[in-house]
C-alpha cells in the first residue's frame, strides 16, 4: 500500500439544510469516534462549534474533522450550504479528493446543489451524491434522481436504493454487497435484501454494472458476452469510475435515522479515491511554468492553505492539505504568494474544535498549523529550493455592500485590526475606503454574510458599527469649454493676500482624468506660483462643484493673470485658482456621471422573463443571453445605484436559485431627474453647514 493509500480526503457540500452536518455526525458516531450522536437542533455537532453557528443552527464556516476507521485516516471537510458563504466551499474543494454533494429527497436539485457541482467541475474533483432525508413526508428517490439528470449532463447511477420512502421508509439496500441497512432502534442493522425487493434490486444492480463496466474495454467485453461481471470486478469498476469521473454514483439514506450512513461509511474506504488514486497534480513554478507534484515523500513540499481561523486570544490556525513531500515541526518553509519563509511551530490534527499535536503532516494528508502567521487562505506552502503553487478556482466578486461607521472613537481605533483579521479568514469579504465618498465600505456575498461579519466584529474584537446603504460614486464633468477669472485679494493691515489667474477648461475623453497646462508667457504669473495654481485646481476637483462629487476628464489651462510683488503668495494663488475653476466649470455645461456595472446573472429558464423585465425597470440594458449548463446566463449593464440590494431581490425573484456577479464597466451621464436631486441635496447640505 502506498504512503497515502489509506487516506481519504472528502468534502461535503450542498444546499443549506440538506443534512451535510447530520450525515457527518452519523459517520463519527457509527465509526466509534463519538459516544453520543450530536444534533444541529441541540447545538452539539462536532463541525458546527462556533457560537454563531450554534445560535443560528446553520454552518457558517468550513470545519475539519479527522478520524480513524479500520486502519484508514478519514479527513472530512464540512462546508456551509448558504450561498453567502460560497467562498468557504471554493477554498476547500481543492483540498479534497472527492466532493460529496448532499441532496434533499424532498427538494431535489437546489441552487446550492448547482453551485457545488460547478465548483467541483472547475476544480476537477470527482463527485459523489448522497440523497438524504428519505424518511421525510414528501421524499422521492426517483424524482430526485430525475432532478439530477435533468439539471446536469452526467450519468447518475444509484449504488444504493431505498426500502420505501416517506412514512414507509425502512432502510437502504447496497447494490454492490447486496445487503440492507434497516432501521432498528438507535443504530441500523445489516440484513438480507427483503424478499419483495429482490427483483427490483437485481434490475438496479444490472444498471449499475452496465454503467461502470465501461471504465475498461475488457470489462465491457465481458459484460456484453456474459451479461455480468464478478463482485470483485464490480467493486473495482465502481471505484475507478469515481476516480475518473465517468459516472456520478448515488448513495442514499436518512442522516437523522443513520440508515444508509453505515453503508456510506464503508463506501468511503472501499470506493472513494485516495490521494494516490487522484495522482499527480499540476502546479506553477516561479517562472510561471507548469510542474508536476506526485503524492510522495520523495517530492518537494507542496501544501495548500484552504482555511484560516483567527482567535483573538489563541491566534491563527491554518488548515492545510499536503500534496507532496512532508511538513514537519521546526521546518523552514516558504509561502509562495508572500515570497517569505518561516519556521513551522505546532502541527495539529483537528476534530472540530478539539486539537491534538502531531509531529508532521505527510503527502496526501490534512492538518493544521498553529500561529504560522505569514500564511492566509489560498496560499501555497512550498520548499524554498523548488517553489511552486497550486492553481485554485477564482473567487467571486462581492455583490452586497454596506457603508460602516464606528460608533465611538474606540471602535474606530480597532476597526482596521478587526477587518484585517476577518479578511484573512474569508477571501470573499472586502473592506475599502471609498475616496470619492469618504465612506468605509464592507462587501461580501449577501446580507447574511455581512450581518455575520458585523456580529463577529463586535463579539470577537469589540468593534461596534452603524451601517447604511453606501453613497454612489458619482463624478462631475463638463460638456463644453469655458473661461473665467479667479481673483483673490485680501487686505487686513500689514501684508495682504493677492492672486489673480485666468483659466480655460476643456472636456476630455472618458477615462483621461485631469490635465493641467501652463501657457503663461512674460512672467505675468511668476513660475514659483504655478504649482500653487495647479494645487488649487486639484483641490476643487476633489471636492466637486455642483454636487460635491469628484471632477474627472477635464483639462485646465492657465493662460493669464497678475501678481503683487509683496502680497502674492502660494495660498493666494491656490484660492484664486479654485475660484476661477469653479466659475469656469459652472459655465461649461456641467453634468453628473454615474457608474454603470457589468452584470452577469445566472438563473433557470423559467425566470428569464422576470429577470429581463426587472433589469429594464432598473434602467438597465440586456446585452445578451447564453446557456450556462442547464441554466441561462444574462449579460447586462445596470447603474450601480440600482444594484446595492440586488442580491436580496434576485433571490426573492428566483426562489433562491439566481446568482450574479458584477464589476464596474464605465461612467455615463445620469438622467436629468437624478442630477437635479443630487444637486438639490448638495445645496441643502451646504445651507445646513454639513
Cell numbers describing residue 551: 471632477
Domain ends where: 390, 410, 433? 390
**Vertex 526, ends 525 and 529: CA angle to 5°?**
90
> Quick one: 567 exposed, middle or buried, by C-beta within 10 A (0-12, 13-18, 19+)?
middle
**Residue-level pLDDT at 260:** 95
Q: Looking at residues 339-360, what average pLDDT do you find?
A: 94
**Residue-level pLDDT at 2:** 65
Phi, psi at residue 648, to the nearest 5°? -70, -45
The 10s digit of each residue's pLDDT in 202-253 is: 999 999 999 999 888 888 888 888 888 888 999 999 999 999 999 999 999 9
Q: Which residue has the cell 437502504?
A: 172
Query: Residue 199 domain-assigned?
Result: yes
Q: What CATH number corresponds to the domain at position 429?
A: 3.30.70.870
Query: Residue 43 domain-assigned?
Result: yes
| pLDDT higher than threshold 60 for residue 377 | yes
Q: Are 607 and 649 in contact (CB under 8 A)?
A: no
- Nearest-angstrom CA–CA distance, 323 and 506: 59
- Nearest-angstrom CA–CA distance, 610 and 631: 15
- Nearest-angstrom CA–CA distance, 128 and 156: 9
Query: Percentage of the chain surpassing pLDDT 70?
Result: 99
- pLDDT tier, 638 (very low <50, low <70, confident <90, very high otherwise): very high
The 10s digit of each residue's pLDDT in 647-686 is: 899 989 998 888 888 899 999 999 999 999 999 999 988 8
Residues 153 and 273 grouped into a single domain: yes
Query: Residue 687 domain-assigned?
Result: no
Query: Residue 681 domain-assigned?
Result: no
Residues 452 and 325 grouped into a single domain: no
- pLDDT tier, 493 (very low <50, low <70, confident <90, very high otherwise): low
Query: Residue 497 domain-assigned?
Result: yes
DSSP of 130-172? EEE-TTSTT--HHHHHHHHHHHSSS-EEESEEEES-GGG--EE
Residues 413 and 372 grouped into a single domain: no
Query: Residue 57 domain-assigned?
Result: yes
- Nearest-angstrom CA–CA distance, 247 and 124: 14
Cell numbers describing residue 308: 484560516
Model confidence, pTM: 0.86
Query: Residue 483 domain-assigned?
Result: yes
Domain ends where: 210, 244, 278? 278
Q: Are 286 and 387 in contact (CB under 8 A)?
A: yes
Q: What CATH number corresponds to the domain at position 243?
A: 3.40.50.300
- Nearest-angstrom CA–CA distance, 368 and 359: 11
262: nearest Cα among 38, 104, 28: 28
Q: Are 593 and 479 in contact (CB under 8 A)?
A: no
Q: What CATH number corresponds to the domain at position 498?
A: 3.30.230.10
Domain ends where: 326, 360, 390? 390
Residue 500 in 3-state DSSP? strand
Residues 202 and 108 grouped into a single domain: yes
Residues 134 and 36 grouped into a single domain: yes
- Residue range of the domain that includes 374: 282-390
Residues 260 and 200 grouped into a single domain: yes
Residues 292 and 359 grouped into a single domain: yes
Q: What CATH number corresponds to the domain at position 343?
A: 2.40.30.10
Residues 273 and 287 grouped into a single domain: no
Residues 169 and 263 grouped into a single domain: yes
- Nearest-angstrom CA–CA distance, 121 and 663: 24
Query: Residue 2 domain-assigned?
Result: no
Residues 493 and 561 grouped into a single domain: yes
Residues 429 and 339 grouped into a single domain: no
Residues 552 and 652 grouped into a single domain: no
Q: What CATH number corresponds to the domain at position 644?
A: 3.30.70.240
Structural domain total, the chain: 5
Q: Are 208 and 158 in contact (CB under 8 A)?
A: yes
Amino acid at each position: 500500500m502506498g504512503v497515502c493509500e489509506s487516506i481519504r480526503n472528502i468534502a461535503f457540500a450542498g444546499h443549506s439544510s440538506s443534512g451535510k452536518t447530520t450525515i457527518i455526525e452519523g459517520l463519527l458516531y457509527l465509526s466509534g469516534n463519538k459516544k453520543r450522536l450530536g444534533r444541529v437542533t441541540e447545538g452539539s455537532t462536532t463541525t458546527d462549534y462556533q457560537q454563531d453557528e450554534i445560535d443560528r443552527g446553520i454552518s457558517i464556516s468550513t470545519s475539519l474533522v479527522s478520524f480513524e476507521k479500520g486502519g484508514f485516516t478519514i479527513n472530512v471537510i464540512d462546508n456551509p450550504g448558504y450561498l453567502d458563504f460560497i467562498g468557504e466551499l471554493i477554498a476547500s474543494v481543492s483540498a479534497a479528493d472527492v466532493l460529496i454533494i448532499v441532496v434533499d429527497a424532498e427538494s431535489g436539485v437546489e441552487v446550492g446543489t448547482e453551485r457545488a457541482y460547478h465548483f467541483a467541475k472547475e476544480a476537477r474533483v470527482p463527485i459523489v451524491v448522497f440523497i438524504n432525508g428519505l424518511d421525510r413526508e414528501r421524499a422521492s428517490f426517483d424524482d430526485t434522481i430525475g432532478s439530477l439528470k435533468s439539471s446536469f449532463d452526467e450519468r447518475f447511477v444509484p449504488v444504493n436504493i431505498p426500502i420505501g420512502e416517506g412514512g414507509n421508509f425502512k432502510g437502504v439496500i447496497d447494490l454492490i454487497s447486496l445487503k440492507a441497512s434497516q432501521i432498528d432502534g438507535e443504530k441500523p442493522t445489516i440484513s438480507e435484501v427483503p424478499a419483495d425487493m429482490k427483483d427490483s434490486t437485481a434490475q438496479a444492480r444490472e444498471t449499475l454494472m452496465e454503467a461502470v463496466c465501461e471504465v475498461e474495454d475488457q470489462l465491457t467485453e465481458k459484460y456484453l458476452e456474459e451479461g455480468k461481471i464478478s463482485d470483485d470486478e464490480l467493486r473495482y469498476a465502481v471505484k475507478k469510475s469515481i476516480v475518473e469521473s465517468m459516472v456520478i454514483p448515488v448513495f442514499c439514506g436518512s442522516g437523522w435515522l443513520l440508515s444508509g450512513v453505515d453503508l456510506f461509511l464503508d463506501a468511503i474506504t472501499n470506493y472513494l479515491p485516495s490521494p494516490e488514486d487522484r495522482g499527480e497534480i499540476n502546479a506553477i513554478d516561479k517562472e510561471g511554468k507548469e510542474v508536476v507534484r506526485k503524492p510522495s515523500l520523495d517530492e518537494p513540499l507542496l501544501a495548500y492553505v484552504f482555511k484560516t481561523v483567527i482567535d483573538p486570544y489563541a491566534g491563527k490556525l491554518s488548515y492545510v492539505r499536503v500534496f507532496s513531500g512532508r511538513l514537519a515541526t521546526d521546518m523552514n518553509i516558504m509561502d509562495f504568494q508572500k515570497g517569505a519563509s518561516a519556521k513551522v511551530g505546532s502541527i495539529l490534527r483537528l476534530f472540530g474544535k478539539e486539537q491534538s499535536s502531531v509531529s508532521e503532516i505527510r503527502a496526501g494528508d490534512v492538518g493544521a498549523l498553529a500561529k504560522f502567521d505569514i500564511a492566509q487562505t489560498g496560499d501555497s506552502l512550498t520548499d524554498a529550493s523548488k517553489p511552486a503553487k497550486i492553481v485554485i478556482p477564482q473567487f467571486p466578486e462581492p455583490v452586497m455592500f454596506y457603508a460602516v461607521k464606528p460608533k465611538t472613537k474606540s471602535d474606530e481605533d480597532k476597526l482596521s485590526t478587526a477587518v484585517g483579521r476577518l479578511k484573512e479568514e474569508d477571501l470573499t469579504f472586502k473592506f475599502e475606503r471609498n475616496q470619492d465618498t469618504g465612506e468605509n465600505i464592507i462587501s461580501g456575498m449577501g446580507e447574511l454574510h455581512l450581518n455575520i461579519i458585523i456580529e463577529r466584529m463586535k463579539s470577537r474584537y469589540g468593534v461596534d458599527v452603524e451601517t447604511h446603504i453606501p453613497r454612489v460614486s458619482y463624478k462631475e464633468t463638463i460638456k463644453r469649454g469655458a473661461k473665467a477669472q479667479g481673483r483673490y485679494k485680501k487686505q487686513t493691515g500689514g501684508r495682504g493676500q493677492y492672486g489673480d489667474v485666468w483659466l480655460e477648461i476643456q472636456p476630455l475623453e472618458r477615462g483621461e482624468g485631469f490635465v493641467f497646462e501652463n501657457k503663461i508667457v512674460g512672467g505675468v504669473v511668476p513660475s514659483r506660483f504655478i504649482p500653487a495654481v495647479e494645487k488649487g485646481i486639484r483641490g476643487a476637483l476633489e471636492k466637486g462643484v455642483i454636487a460635491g462629487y469628484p471632477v474627472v476628464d477635464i483639462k485646465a489651462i492657465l493662460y493669464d493673470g497678475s501678481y503683487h510683488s509683496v502680497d502674492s503668495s502660494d495660498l493666494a494663488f491656490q484660492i484664486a485658482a479654485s475660484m476661477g475653476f469653479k466659475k469656469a466649470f459652472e459655465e461649461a455645461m456641467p453634468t453628473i456621471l454615474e457608474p454603470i456595472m457589468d452584470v452577469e446573472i445566472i438563473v433557470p429558464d423559467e425566470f428569464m422573463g422576470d429577470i429581463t423585465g426587472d433589469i429594464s425597470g432598473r434602467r438597465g440594458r440586456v446585452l445578451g443571453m447564453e446557456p450556462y449548463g442547464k441554466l441561462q446566463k444574462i449579460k447586462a449593464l445596470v447603474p450601480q445605484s440600482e444594484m446595492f440590494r440586488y442580491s436580496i431581490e434576485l433571490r426573492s425573484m428566483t426562489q433562491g436559485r439566481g446568482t450574479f456577479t458584477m464589476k464596474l464597466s464605465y461612467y455615463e451621464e445620469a438622467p436629468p431627474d437624478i442630477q437635479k436631486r443630487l444637486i438639490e441635496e448638495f445645496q441643502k447640505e451646504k445651507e445646513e453647514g454639513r
